[in-house]
């Protein structure tokens, strides 16, 4: 059967600095990250013939190729959604190189999403998208926003509250995620937030949208990340050990901006569970084979839902799982977001998680999991979603 | 009438009705909760959409719902949020599971935050958010 299993690899990673206000355009941020990834792969821009981006990315293919001097693209595509797009970009790139539609594909995310980094009036022109909500609502948001349900934190709070009700999950469980990831970030010189926090700090941080507190929320960061995907054949000549893409999958189901539909179906199935089934089937592995996971974490309880969706815990058991120290490097059974994740390293719409997954496979992470053979990276689990498994 | 939880301001975002959903917002203006109901398989749906996701029929009616349901989940919003709503914070947002089946985002009025419980029975009330827009909110069922 045709498959992308073991047909492609990530051979280059690149990024800018991460900061609350980078003072550069998103265009420049993208150029810096992509140039760094191409150099890390041991390639030049002339070797690049494919680009995959988020469809909400403000940098078009054209903007990238005329700045980097990429002479000829053969493949270009966008993946819908924001945090739901992370791993889908890699899946598309792997499909392209596996089928010969491209040789070397750049995938990237560049953003100015610090609070003060507004560069244009459009919804995705920097800063917080929700702050630019129009007065006249013509899309699905018209069933939420008039009631004061505006921000991702508010939307996700509804989902997490129901999880607490169903399973007895507590806000202390959320706190264990935040504390563990901050401890990881403390060792990571790249991380924006490196000051260790305690469970008490978490419990005393202010409410944003109950049951979410400030320390449950991801950072708002400026910065860019890029990777280079190539075929397994070409990967053998790369400068660094390749991170082979063992498997990759996407799913789109009921999403969190359409809460009505999310709650209609979530007990039966979720996008994350649909991805997990495809992913493990393609890879021929089980959750217990995975050595580390980079879960999309716009909010700390997103990690709890992912632990359940991807089969590391039964539904409802993720709270006790994290409270027992299972996601903390180096002693946990499944170190999670070893770079600090979106909560503490940076919020690059999940793209920094891909870079950390590659570092774990290369053996160069600040919190390196010993002998990491298989690393799971996921997209946001309530959006259109996706995931990949990287292997040595 | 119940207390207003989100006072209208000039910049309050409001829905724009279209061909597929006008019956919902028109019902609200007339203080009736109307949902799309498929004429082929008779299943209610919300949010409005042109096609029945159960049987693919394009034929539907705007059927009056009972207006009763239960709180499925809720949040208390402290902010940051839009300026139009920030003055009302902390305010609640609830998801109601309607008797007819569908879920709906709304607010609970006549109830302090400490008394909101998942599973509590609620009924619809209508509040004029602006001159042109009436929103369906809910209050504890008496």
Q: Which domains does chain B have, with CATH numbers?
A: 22-140 (2.40.50.840)
CA distance A369 to A372: 6
Minimal-distance CA residue of chain B relative to A161: B73
Contact across the interface for A137 and B47, Cβ inside 8 Å? no
DSSP of B36-55, one letter per residue?
Answer: EEETTT--EESS--SS-TTT
B134 interfacial to chain A (CB closer than 8 Å): no
Helix and strand totals (H; E) in chain A: 13, 12
Closest alpha carbon within chain A to B85: A148
Residue contact B12–A142, C-beta within 8 A: no
For B53, the closest chain A residue by CA position comes to A261
Q: Which two tokens stand for residue A264?
A: 């209609």
Residue A107 forms part of a structural domain: yes
- Going by pLDDT thresholds of 50, 70 and 90, the confidence category of residue B129 is confident
Q: Is residue A330 part of a domain?
A: yes
Residue B107 has its nearest CB partner, among A130, A148, A158, at: A148
Instruction: Give the C-alpha distances (Å, rounded to integers) separating B75 from A143, A148, A149, A299.
Output: 16, 11, 9, 15
Tallying the residues shown for chain B, one arrives at: 142
Considering only alpha carbons, which residue of chain B is nearest residue A160? Answer: B73
Q: Which chain B residues are within 8 Å of A150, Cβ to Cβ?
A: 81-82, 85
For A115, name the nearest residue in chain B, comparing CA atoms only.
B80
pLDDT at B3: 45
Residue A339, phi then psi, degrees to nearest 5? -90, -10
Any idea what the CATH number is for the domain that residue A80 is in?
3.40.47.10
Alpha-carbon span A315 to A305, nearest angstrom: 8
Helix ranges (DSSP H) in chain A: 26-40, 61-68, 86-98, 152-167, 171-186, 199-204, 232-235, 259-265, 271-283, 300-309, 318-323, 341-344, 351-362
Nearest residue of B to residue A129, measured between CA atoms:
B82
Domain count, chain A: 1
Residue A145 DSSP label: G
From A140, which residue of chain B is nearest by alpha-carbon distance?
B47
Q: How many residues does chain A have?
A: 392
Q: Looking at the partner chain, which of A145, A161, A208 has a beta carbon nearest the beta carbon of B13?
A: A145
- Is A184 domain-assigned? no
Burial of A101 (0-12, 13-18, 19+ CB in 10 A): middle
Closest Cα in chain B, distance from residue A169 (Å): 14
Looking at the complex, report in whole angstroms how far the Cα of residue B102 sits from the nearest Cα belonging to chain A.
7
Considering only the beta carbons, identify the residue of B6, B15, B103 that sits closest to A148. Answer: B6
Tell me which chain A residues have a C-beta less than 8 angstroms from the C-beta of B20: none
Residue B2 has pLDDT above 50, yes or no: no
The structure tokens listed for A337 are: 């977001």
Task: Give the closest of A140, A209, A263 to B103, CB-based.
Answer: A263
Task: Please check whether residue A333 lies inside any domain of the structure.
Answer: yes
pLDDT at B9 over 70: no
Burial readout A13-36 (b: 16 or more C-beta within 10 A, e: otherwise): bbbbebebebebbbbbbbbbbbbb
Instruction: Note if the bond before A211 is cis, omega within 30 degrees.
Output: yes
Q: How far, in Å, CA of B83 to CA of B88, rounded?
A: 10
B111/chain A closest Cα distance in angstroms:
16
Q: Copy the structure tokens of residue A26.
A: 């998103």
- pLDDT tens, per residue, chain A with 392 residues: 789 999 999 999 999 999 999 999 999 999 999 999 999 999 999 999 999 999 999 999 999 999 999 999 999 999 998 999 999 999 999 999 999 999 999 999 999 887 777 777 777 777 888 988 888 999 889 999 999 999 999 999 999 999 999 999 999 999 999 999 999 999 999 999 999 999 999 999 999 999 999 999 999 999 999 999 999 999 999 999 999 999 999 999 777 777 878 888 888 889 999 999 999 999 999 999 999 999 999 999 999 999 999 999 999 999 999 999 999 999 999 999 999 999 999 999 999 999 999 999 999 999 999 999 999 999 998 879 999 999 99
**With an 8 Å Cβ cutoff, is B30 touching chain A?**
no
Domain limits at A324?
8-117+218-391
Facing A209 at nearest CB: one of B16, B78, B107: B78
Cα of A331 vs its chain's centroid, Å: 24
Residue B10: the pLDDT is 62
Helix (H, G, I), strand (E, B) or coil at A347: coil
**For residue B6, what pLDDT band results from cuts at 50, 70 and 90?**
low
Q: Which residue of B has its CA nearest to A132?
A: B82
Secondary element (H or E) of residue B22: helix B22-29
pLDDT > 50? residue B134? yes
Strand, helix or coil for residue A96: helix
CB A110 within 8 A of CB A15: no
Structure tokens at A279: 């992913």
Please tell me which of the candidates A135, A143, A146 has its beta carbon nearest to residue B11: A135
What would the pLDDT profile of A100-159 be if each residue is shown by its tens digit?
999 999 999 999 887 777 777 777 777 888 988 888 999 889 999 999 999 999 999 999
Contact at CB, A263 and B97, closer than 8 angstroms: yes
Q: Which residues of A touch B (CB under 8 A)?
A: 130-131, 133-138, 140-151, 154, 157-159, 161-162, 165, 206-212, 258-261, 263-264
Count of CB pairs separated by less than 8 Å, A with B: 121
In a domain, A305, yes or no: yes
Q: Are A389 and A375 in contact (CB under 8 A)?
A: yes
Any CB–CB contact under 8 A between B51 and chain A? no
Q: Taking the CA atoms of B129, B131, B135 and B139 in sequence, report the sign of the dihedral they define.
A: positive
In a domain, A205, yes or no: no
Which chain A residues are Cβ-neighbours of B90 within 8 angstroms?
207
Model's pTM, two decimal places? Answer: 0.96
- Cβ neighbors of B26 (< 8 A, separation 6 or more) are B17, B34, B62
CA distances from A391 to A40, A81, A291, A359 (A): 19, 26, 10, 11
Contact check, Cβ <8 Å, B79/A258: no
Q: Which of A209, A197, A117 shows the shortest CA–CA distance to A160? A: A209
Report DSSP state, residue A146: G
The pLDDT score that the predictor gives to residue A259 is 81
Distance CA A66, CA A72 (A): 10
User: Distance (Å, rounded) from C-alpha A152 to C-alpha A383?
Assistant: 11
Q: Locate A5 and state its tokens.
A: 């299993």
**What are the E-state strand segments in chain B?**
14-15, 34-38, 44-45, 60-64, 68-77, 91-98, 103-106, 121-128, 134-140
Asked if residue A263 is part of any domain, the answer here is yes
Q: Is B90 on the interface with A (CB under 8 A)?
A: yes
Q: Does A268 fall in a domain? A: yes
Instruction: Check residue B127 and report its DSSP letter.
Output: E
Q: What is the DSSP letter of A233?
A: H
How far apart CA B87 and CA A86 sit, in angstroms, is 36
B5-35 burial, b if ≥16 CB within 10 A, otherwise e? bbebeeebbbbbbeeebebbbebbeeeebbb
Q: Do A148 and B81 touch (CB under 8 A)?
A: yes
Of A150, A158, A208, the CB nearest to B82: A150
Reported as a single tens digit per residue, the pLDDT across B90-118 is 999 999 999 999 999 999 999 999 999 99
**Beta strands at B44-45 and B103-106: parallel, antiparallel or unpaired:** unpaired
Chain B residues whose beta carbon lies within 8 Å of the beta carbon of residue A263: 72-73, 95, 97, 103
To which residue do tokens 């305010």 refer? B91
């Amino acid at each position: 059967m045709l498959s992308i299993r073991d047909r492609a690899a990530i051979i280059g990673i690149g990024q800018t600095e991460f900061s609350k206000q980078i003072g550069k355009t998103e265009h420049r941020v993208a150029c810096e990250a992509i140039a760094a990834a191409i150099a890390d792969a041991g390639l030049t821009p002339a070797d690049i013939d494919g680009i995959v981006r988020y469809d909400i990315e403000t940098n078009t293919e054209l903007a990238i190729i005329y700045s980097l001097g990429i002479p000829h693209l053969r493949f270009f595509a966008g993946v819908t959604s924001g945090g739901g797009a992370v791993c889908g970009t890699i899946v598309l790139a792997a499909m392209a190189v596996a089928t010969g539609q491209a040789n070397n594909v750049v995938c990237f995310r560049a953003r100015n999403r610090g609070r003060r980094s507004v560069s244009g009036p459009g919804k995705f022109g920097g800063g917080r998208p929700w702050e630019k909500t129009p007065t006249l609502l013509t899309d699905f948001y018209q069933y939420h926003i008039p009631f004061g349900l505006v921000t991702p934190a508010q939307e996700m709070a509804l989902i997490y509250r129901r999880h607490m009700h169903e399973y007895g999950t507590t806000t202390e469980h959320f706190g264990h995620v935040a504390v563990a990831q901050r401890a990881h970030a403390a060792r990571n010189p790249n991380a924006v937030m490196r000051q260790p926090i305690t469970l008490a700090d978490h419990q005393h941080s202010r409410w944003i949208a109950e049951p979410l507190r400030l320390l449950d929320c991801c950072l708002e960061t400026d910065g860019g990340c890029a990777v280079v995907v190539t075929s397994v054949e070409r990967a053998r000549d790369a400068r660094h050990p390749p991170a082979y893409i063992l498997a990759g999958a996407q799913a789109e189901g009921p999403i969190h901006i359409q809460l009505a539909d999310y709650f209609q179906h979530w007990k039966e199935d979720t996008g994350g569970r649909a991805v997990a089934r495809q992913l493990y089937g393609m890879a021929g592995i089980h959750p217990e084979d995975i050595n580390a996971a980079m879960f999309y974490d716009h909010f700390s309880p997103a990690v709890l839902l992912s632990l359940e969706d991807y089969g590391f815990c039964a539904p409802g058991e993720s709270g006790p799982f994290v409270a027992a120290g299972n996601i903390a490097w180096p002693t946990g059974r499944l170190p999670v977001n070893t770079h600090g994740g979106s909560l503490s390293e940076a919020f690059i719409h999940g793209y920094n998680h891909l870079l950390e997954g590659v570092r774990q496979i290369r053996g160069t992470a600040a919190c390196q999991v010993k002998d990491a053979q298989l690393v799971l990276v996921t997209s946001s689990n309530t959006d259109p979603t996706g995931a990949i498994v990287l292997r040595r | 009438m119940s207390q207003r939880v989100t006072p209208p301001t000039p910049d309050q975002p409001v829905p724009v009705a279209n061909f597929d959903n006008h019956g919902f917002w028109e019902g609200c203006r007339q203080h009736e909760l109307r949902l799309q109901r498929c004429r082929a398989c008779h299943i209610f749906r919300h949010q409005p959409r042109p096609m029945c996701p159960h049987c693919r029929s394009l034929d539907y009616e705007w059927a009056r719902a009972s207006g009763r349901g239960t709180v499925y989940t809720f949040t208390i919003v402290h902010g940051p949020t839009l300026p139009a709503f920030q003055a009302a914070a902390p305010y609640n947002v609830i998801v109601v599971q309607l008797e007819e089946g569908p879920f709906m985002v709304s607010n609970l009025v006549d109830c302090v935050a400490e008394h909101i419980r998942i599973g509590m029975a609620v009924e619809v009330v209508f509040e004029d958010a602006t001159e042109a827009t009436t929103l369906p909110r809910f209050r504890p069922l008496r």
